[in-house]
Structure 1
Amino acid sequence: MNLARASHSAVPNLLPALPAGWPAKPLQLIVPWPAGGATDLTLRVLCEEAEPLLGQRIIVLNRPGAAGTLVAPALKSAEPDGYTLGQLPITVFRHALMNAVPWDPVKDLAPIVQVSGTTFGLLIPANSPWSAVTELLDWARLNPGKLLMGSTGIGTTAHLAMEEILLKQGIEYVHVPYKGTADQMLAVASGQLMAGVNSTGFAPWLDRGQMRLLAIFSAERSKRWPDVPTLRELGLTQSVYSSPWGLAAPRGTPPAIIKRLHDAFYKAMHSERHTAALARYDQHLDYLDTDAYKRAVLQTVGHEKILLRRMKLLTAPAT
C-alpha cells in the first residue's frame, strides 16, 4: 500500500464534546480469531494499555470463524455508542467481494485507527523431508492432489497467497481451512498438514523447533530470519502479501467518541509493552489516523477487487 503515512507527533488536548459521562461502563472489543493466537495476544496487551487512558476496562470477546469476518455483522448490529469495537482484518473487505453478505464493510463500519500488519510465511513440519520450496513444488507436481496445505480460512490473505503460487505452478492440492493461527499451527507441527501459510504468529512454534520456515511473502527478508528467502527472490511471484489491520466501531458512532478512542489507542499502541508484544511475533506498528485509515480501506477494496477477479474468486459486486 503506497498511501502516505499520517503524522501524529502529539495528541491534541482539545477534544470534541463527548456524550456526558462517556465512557460510563466497560467497553468490549470483538476479536474475530481464536484466543491464544498472535493477534489475540497483542490485542489483549493493547487493551490493557488503553484501559487507564479511557478509565474503563476493555473486555475481549473472541468470535473466530468465517476467515475473521464475524466481526462485521457483530459491529453492524451493535449500538453506535462507542462501547463495542472490533479488530478489522483485511479479510472483512475481501469476503464482501467474494460473497453476498447482508453487511457492507465500507458503509456499515467506522474505522478508528490502523494499528499493525503481518507478513506471511510458508511452513512445514520440523520432520518434513523438504528443505526448500522447490522440493515441495516438485513433489506436488509428481503427486497431483496429494499435497495437504492449510490456511487460516477461505478468502484469507494466507489462502490467496498460497493459491496464487500454486495456480501459477499448475499444482493441484487440497486446501484445509482453519479458524485461526493456533489450530492451524498445531496441525502443521503435528504433521496433520504437509505445509501451511500463516502470518508471523508462527514465531513461537519456530522458536520451539516444531516447524520450519521455507520462505516468506514479504518484499525483503526478515531481520529475525535472515536466512529464509522471499518467494519473490525465488522467482515464484512478484506479489507481496501483508495483512494490515486496525480497529473499527459501528457506523453512526459519534465523531467525538471516535476521536477519543483514536487518541487513547494511539498512545496505547506506542507503549513499550505493546510494541514489544508486536515484535515477539515479528510485527511492527503500521499506524494510520482515522482519515488516512478510511482512505486506505477504499484503496484496499479497489486492489482486492482486481486480485480476486484475476484469481476467479470475485463472485459478488464490488462495494
Structure 2
Amino acid sequence: MIKTYRRKLLLSAAALAVLSASSVQAAEKWPSKPLRIIVPFAAGGGSDFEARFIASKLTDLLGQSIVVENKPGAGGNLGTEYGVRAAPDGYTLTIIASSYTVNPSVFDLKFDPVKDIAPIVRIAQGPLILVANPKLKAKTFKEFLELAKSEPGKLTFASSGTGSIVHAAGELLSQRAGIRLRHIPYKGTGPALADTLSGTVDVFFSSAAAAIPMIQSGKLRALAVTTAERIPALPDVPTVQESGVPDYAVPLWHGLIAPKGTPPEVIEKINAAVNSTLQSKDFADRLKAEGLTPAGGTSAEFATTIKTEVDLWHKLSSTVPLKAN
C-alpha cells in the first residue's frame, strides 16, 4: 500500500516536472508565430490607435507580425471576454481601458476581472477634465464646490452614459467632496459635450482629446483635472486634489492584458518590449496632443492598479447606483 502511494507521488512529481519543462521551453521559443491584439472597441478611437502603434513597434522588437482585431460591443465586455478566454500562450493580447474596472459594478460579467487575467503593462494615462459652460457662475474649481454646497442637487453633470467611467467619476466627486450633483446621462461623449457647450447642463467630465480644443477656443472653461498631477497640455489647470478634495483621483488609462495562465516569462518579455516602445518620441508627442502621457511600469504595478480600482468602484456602487434602471 505504501509502495503504491509512493509510486503515485513519484509519477505525479514526474508529470509536473515534464509540464513545467514544457512550459519553460515554450516560453523560450516564444514568439514563433504571429500575435494578435484584441481591441474591444470600434476602430478609430484611442484604444485602437494605441493598439496599432504598439503592434507596429512590437513587430520589429519581437520579430513577428501582430494583427489588431476590433471586437466592439457591450461596453467593451464582448471583446474583452473573447481575449480573456483565449489560449494562455502569449499569442492573444487584449487592450483594456480604465472603464474595465468600472464594468464589474455595472454588468454581470462572465469572467473575473482580477483573477482571470494576466496584467502586462499600462500603455498610456491621462485625466478626465471637469469642464463648465463659461456662463456658470463658478470660475474656479473651489468656487464650483462652494456653489454646489450652497445649492445641493441643483448643479448638473453630464456623462457619456449611466455606468460609464465619467458617471463613476462624477459620483465619486460628489461623495468625496460632500456635495450633491444631479447626473444627466447621454448616449456618448458627443451629445454630452454639445449640451455642456449650450449650457443645458453645467459641467462634464470630458476626455482631454475632446475638451482641449474647446478649452483653447474659450467655448468651455476647465475647472480641474482628475489625475493626481497637472498635465503638460494644460499646465495652468489644477488637479481636484490640490483644489480641496485630497483623496480624489480618477485617471484614464489603457493597458495590455493576457489570459490567466500565460507564462510569466512571456508576460515579462512583452512588458519589456512595450516599456521600450513607450520611449518613442513620436508616440509621446501624439499622446501629448491628446492630453495623455506614456505610462509603462511593471506587470505587478498594473495588477495592483486594476484590483484597487475594481474595489473602489465596487464600494462606490454599494452606495450609489451605477447601473441603469
Q: Return the TM-score normalized by structure 1.
A: 0.73
Structure 1 43/189 Cα, relative in aligned 2: closer, same or farther at 3 Å? farther
Which protein shows a greater Rg?
A: 2
Structure 1 166/187 Cα, relative in aligned 2: closer, same or farther at 3 Å? same
- One of 262, 278, 302 as aligned partner of 1:253: 262
Structure 1 57/283 Cα, relative in aligned 2: closer, same or farther at 3 Å? same
Greater Cα offset, 270-279 or 167-176: 167-176
Give the 3-state SS of the residue equivalent to 1:160 in structure 2: helix
Instruction: Tell me how far 1:248 sits from its aligned partner.
Output: 0.7
**Alignment partner, residue 161 of structure 1:** 169
Instruction: Tell me how far 1:231 sits from its aligned partner.
Output: 2.9
Q: Deviations over 1:116-151 (max 9, x none)?
A: 322221113466675344358738965956x55322
Separation (CA, whole Å) in 2 of partners of 1:18 and 1:287: 25
One-letter amino acid of the counterpart of residue 90, structure 1 = S
One-letter amino acid of the counterpart of residue 121, structure 1 = I
One-letter amino acid of the counterpart of residue 54, structure 2 = L
One-letter amino acid of the counterpart of residue 127, structure 2 = T
Which structure 2 residues correspond to residues 290-309 of structure 1 after superposition, within 5 A? 290-309=299-318
Separation (CA, whole Å) in 2 of partners of 1:42 and 1:20: 21
Aligned partners of 2:134 and 2:220 also within 8 Å: yes
Instruction: Tell me how far 1:169 sits from its aligned partner.
Output: 4.9
Aligned partners of 2:43 and 2:70 also within 8 Å: no
Tell me which of the two structures has the higher relative contact order, counting C-alpha pairs closer than 8 angstroms and 6 or more residues apart: 1
**Alignment partner, residue 108 of structure 2:** 100
- One of 240, 264, 284 as aligned partner of 2:293: 284
Which structure 2 residues correspond to residues 101-180 of structure 1 after superposition, within 5 A? 101-125=109-133, 131-133=139-141, 134=143, 138=147, 144=153, 147-167=155-175, 168-179=177-188
Q: Deviations over 1:88-130 (max 9, x none)?
A: 2333233224543221112222212122322221113466675
Structure 1 or 2: more helix by fraction: 2
Aligned partners of 1:221 and 1:228 also within 8 Å: yes
Separation (CA, whole Å) in 2 of partners of 1:285 and 1:248: 17
Q: Which runs of 5+ in 1 are unaligned?
A: 1-14
Give the share of equivalent positions with the same residue, in percent. Answer: 23
Aligned partners of 1:116 and 1:246 also within 8 Å: yes
1:22 lines up with 2:33 in the alignment: yes
Give the 3-state SS of the residue equivalent to 1:163 in structure 2: helix
**Alignment partner, residue 12 of structure 1:** none
CA RMSD after TM alignment = 3.7
Structure 1 70/288 Cα, relative in aligned 2: closer, same or farther at 3 Å? farther
Separation (CA, whole Å) in 2 of partners of 1:137 and 1:160: 21
Aligned residue pairs, count? 295
Give the 3-state SS of the residue equivalent to 2:166 in structure 1: helix
Structure 1 18/204 Cα, relative in aligned 2: closer, same or farther at 3 Å? farther
Separation (CA, whole Å) in 2 of partners of 1:155 and 1:127: 28
Structure 1 228/57 Cα, relative in aligned 2: closer, same or farther at 3 Å? same
Separation (CA, whole Å) in 1 of partners of 2:163 and 2:59: 33
- One of 27, 50, 58 as aligned partner of 1:50: 58
**Alignment partner, residue 90 of structure 1:** 98
Aligned partners of 2:120 and 2:298 also within 8 Å: yes
**Alignment partner, residue 269 of structure 1:** 278
Q: Return the TM-score normalized by structure 2.
A: 0.72
Q: Deviations over 1:161-204 (max 9, x none)?
A: 2113335555351331444x566545544666542102323334
Give the 3-state SS of the residue equivalent to 1:74 in structure 2: helix
One-letter amino acid of the counterpart of residue 130, structure 2 = L
Give the 3-state SS of the residue equivalent to 2:252 in structure 1: coil
Give the 3-state SS of the residue equivalent to 1:45 in structure 2: helix
